[in-house]
Structure 1
């Protein structure tokens, strides 16, 4: 069961990171488009700024699960290095519970916020609901919860391994 969940977690974390990379590429492309239209063509496209902002928001919320999975999100390095094997597991559990609590709050209120924002439209893209921008919070929280549980089941300390 543990291995099945870890395979599922690896799959979901890979998908979220892939989408986060696409969002970064989109933000970069929109930024280049904005530079060209504003400074070369002297006719700025108003829709690029809002799409850059929301693609960066999506990028962050979909990149967080990878940070959680690699053990790089909530850093308690000093305590972890000074504690024994048994205390490290307790520390992992406390950090996982705190992160799950925060992700649960983001999921709950993010979904509520997205639903409330569904009546608004994006500035510069009047035909697109703000629901799609705000949806980044609950979607990122779901992926994060899976990554947090995956890291608790199979802890990785990539930031500790790379630290000097």
Structure 2
């Protein structure tokens, strides 16, 4: 069961990270496009600014799971080094539970916010609902929950291992 969950986590984290990288490429490409249209062609495309923000929001929330999986988000290095093995696990459990609680809140309220935002449209892109920007919160949080659980089951703390 543990092995299957960790394989599932690796798969989901890879997908989330690949999509986060894609969103970075989209944002950077649209930024260049925006510069060319605004300053060279002197015909700014307002819609590109909205899509840049949209892609950066998705990039952030899809990149968080990889950080959680690596133990980079909830890390108290000095305290971990001072505690014996069992104390470290207790500290990791407390950190995991706190992070899971936060991600659970983000899933719950993020979904509610996205559903309420369905009636809004993006400025400059009136045909696209704000739902698609807001839903990045619960989607990213679900991926992050998988990473948090996987990190607790199979901890990865490179900063601790290289510092000793």
TM range (shorter): over 0.9
How far 1:160 moved relative to its partner? 2.9
Counterpart for residue 71 of structure 1: 71
Counterpart for residue 101 of structure 2: 101
The verdict on how the C-alpha distance between 1:105 and 1:23 changes in structure 2, with shifts beyond 3 A counting, is: same
Once residues 72 and 114 of structure 1 are traced to their aligned partners in structure 2, the CA distance between those partners, rounded to angstroms, is 28
How far 1:55 moved relative to its partner? 0.5
Once residues 80 and 70 of structure 1 are traced to their aligned partners in structure 2, the CA distance between those partners, rounded to angstroms, is 15
1:106-121 matches, cutoff 5 A: 106-121=106-121
Once residues 25 and 36 of structure 2 are traced to their aligned partners in structure 1, the CA distance between those partners, rounded to angstroms, is 17
Once residues 16 and 142 of structure 1 are traced to their aligned partners in structure 2, the CA distance between those partners, rounded to angstroms, is 10
How far 1:161 moved relative to its partner? 3.8
Q: Secondary structure at the match of 1:128?
A: strand
- Is the CA contact 1:107–1:139 (under 8 Å) kept in the aligned structure 2? yes
Once residues 119 and 85 of structure 1 are traced to their aligned partners in structure 2, the CA distance between those partners, rounded to angstroms, is 52
Once residues 136 and 68 of structure 1 are traced to their aligned partners in structure 2, the CA distance between those partners, rounded to angstroms, is 17
- Unaligned 5+ segments in structure 2 are none
Q: CA deviation digits over 1:71-91, x for unaligned, max 9?
A: 101121111111110100001
Q: Secondary structure at the match of 1:126?
A: strand
1:22-61 matches, cutoff 5 A: 22-61=22-61
Counterpart for residue 159 of structure 1: 159
Once residues 136 and 29 of structure 2 are traced to their aligned partners in structure 1, the CA distance between those partners, rounded to angstroms, is 20
Pairwise CA RMSD of aligned residues?
A: 1.1
Normalised to the residue count of structure 2, the TM-score between the two structures is 0.97
Runs of 4+ with deviation above 6 angstroms: none
Q: CA deviation digits over 1:35-59, x for unaligned, max 9?
A: 0000000010000111111101100
Counterpart for residue 15 of structure 2: 15
- Is the CA contact 1:71–1:159 (under 8 Å) kept in the aligned structure 2? no
